[in-house]
């Protein structure tokens, strides 16, 4: 039988110790997404390539019954808590738990209800406004939920090119505004922050989200994995040729320096800003020691990662 809640390495980014993915695949089809290059997708997606991301979705059969059975023993007191994760269950990482077909399948709603009734803390991450359907559950358990969305920028036209079937950034922002007004704690992921954007773009996002008093504002610079850079470049070539050219020059050294400069600026801008440097620390070979020391502060100690 399917195991519903699984241990997660996302504690390294302070997202939680556990993850629940109701689906394999995602219908949004974001070209920058590195999830289809991750083992948790590649080993369960029936052989689909990274370029087919967004064109397939497999609901997990038996998931709700498996979760109900698992929760008999998996109580909040028994949920593993690390120094960085604190026992949160993330919905979701390798899929969007509010992918459009969720309107029909309702796997996310059923799982969310079971988790909250059992007393667990749940962090919801989505690029979809379908989550508004479940504001009743989130508001009723506001002391144990966090609702977040990705807002790497506020350019709806650019988002349509790179995130063809996800809700526009302006609509996701309105969703967060509605959630905050309903008393639901919110957070924002400025991710992926794109290599052709600058501090003005970051400031534009922050100026819109800070009035919502988000619990956290995460930021991760675009992380090259698999074919995502090539797919983005192809998607941008006709409508955004200058941005496509900048992607073509996005070397590991450029990525490393960009990561340091963007995260350093964000941290100086707001106390709620939480840098998300690459957990494998691949920027170390391209940065001076002072920059490496700065980024190391936001990751678990290396001895903890090796434990």
Q: What is the pLDDT of residues 86-101, one digit of tens each?
A: 899 999 998 999 999 9
Q: Percentage of the chain with pLDDT > 70?
A: 95
Please say whether the beta carbons of 286 and 254 come within 8 A. Answer: no
**Of 174, 74, 85, which is closest to residue 131 (Cα–Cα)?**
174
pLDDT of 72 over the 90 cut: yes
Q: Which residues contact 139 (CB under 8 A, 6 or more apart)?
A: 182, 183, 184
Confidence (pLDDT) at 42: 59
Cα–Cα dist 182/139, whole Å = 7
Residue range 8-27: mean pLDDT, rounded: 91
Tens of pLDDT, residue by residue over 275-286, are: 999 988 999 999
Distance between CA atoms of residues 230 and 200, nearest Å: 26
Going along the chain from its start, the domains and CATH numbers come out as 6-223 (3.20.20.70)
Those residues whose C-beta lies under 8 Å from the C-beta of residue 257, and which sit 6 or more positions away, are 286, 287, 291
* Nearest one of 184, 70, 209 to 134, comparing CA atoms: 184
Positive or negative, the Cα torsion across 108, 109, 112, 117? Answer: negative
Residue corresponding to tokens 């600026």: 265
pLDDT band for position 119 (cuts 50, 70, 90)? very high
pLDDT, position 43:
62
Q: Over 90: is that where the pLDDT of 62 sits? A: yes
Structure token pair of residue 64 = 């709700």
Average pLDDT for 158-180: 97
pLDDT in tens, 207-252: 999 999 999 999 999 988 888 999 999 999 999 999 999 999 999 9
| pLDDT for the residue 207 | 96
CB 119, CB 77: distance < 8 Å: no
Can you give the pLDDT at residue 227?
87
Mean pLDDT over residues 13-19, rounded?
A: 90
Q: Which of 42-56, 125-139, 170-184, 235-249 has the lowest mean pLDDT?
A: 42-56
Q: What's the chain's average pLDDT? A: 92
Distance set, CA 136 to CA 81, 150, 161 (Å): 28, 22, 33
């Amino acid at each position: 039988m399917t195991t519903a809640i699984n241990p997660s390495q996302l504690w390294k980014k302070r997202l939680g110790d556990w993850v629940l993915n109701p689906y394999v695949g995602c219908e949004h089809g974001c070209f920058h997404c590195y999830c289809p290059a991750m083992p948790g997708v590649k080993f369960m997606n029936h052989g689909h390539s990274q370029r087919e991301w967004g064109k397939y979705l497999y609901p997990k059969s038996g998931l709700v019954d498996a979760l109900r059975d698992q929760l008999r023993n998996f109580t909040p007191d028994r949920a593993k808590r690390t120094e960085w994760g604190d026992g949160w269950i993330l919905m979701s990482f390798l899929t969007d738990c509010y992918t459009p077909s969720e309107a029909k399948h309702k796997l996310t709603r059923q799982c969310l209800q079971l988790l909250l009734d059992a007393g667990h803390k749940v962090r919801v991450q989505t690029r979809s406004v379908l989550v508004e359907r479940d504001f009743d559950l989130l508001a009723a358990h506001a002391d144990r939920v966090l609702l977040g969305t990705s807002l790497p920028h506020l350019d709806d036209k650019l988002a349509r090119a790179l995130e063809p079937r996800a809700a526009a950034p302006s609509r996701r922002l309105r969703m967060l505004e509605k959630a905050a007004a309903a008393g639901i704690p919110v957070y924002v992921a400025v991710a992926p922050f794109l290599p052709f954007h600058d501090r003005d773009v970051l400031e534009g996002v922050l100026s819109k989200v800070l009035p919502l008093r988000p619990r956290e504002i995460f930021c991760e610079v675009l992380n090259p994995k698999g074919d995502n850079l090539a797919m983005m470049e192809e998607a941008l070539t006709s409508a955004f040729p200058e941005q496509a050219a900048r992607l073509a020059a996005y070397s590991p050294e450029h990525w490393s320096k960009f990561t340091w400069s963007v995260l350093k600026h964000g941290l100086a801008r707001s106390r709620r800003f939480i840098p998300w440097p690459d957990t494998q620390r691949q920027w170390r070979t391209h940065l001076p020691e002072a920059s490496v020391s700065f980024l190391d502060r936001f990751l678990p100690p290396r001895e903890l990662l090796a434990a």
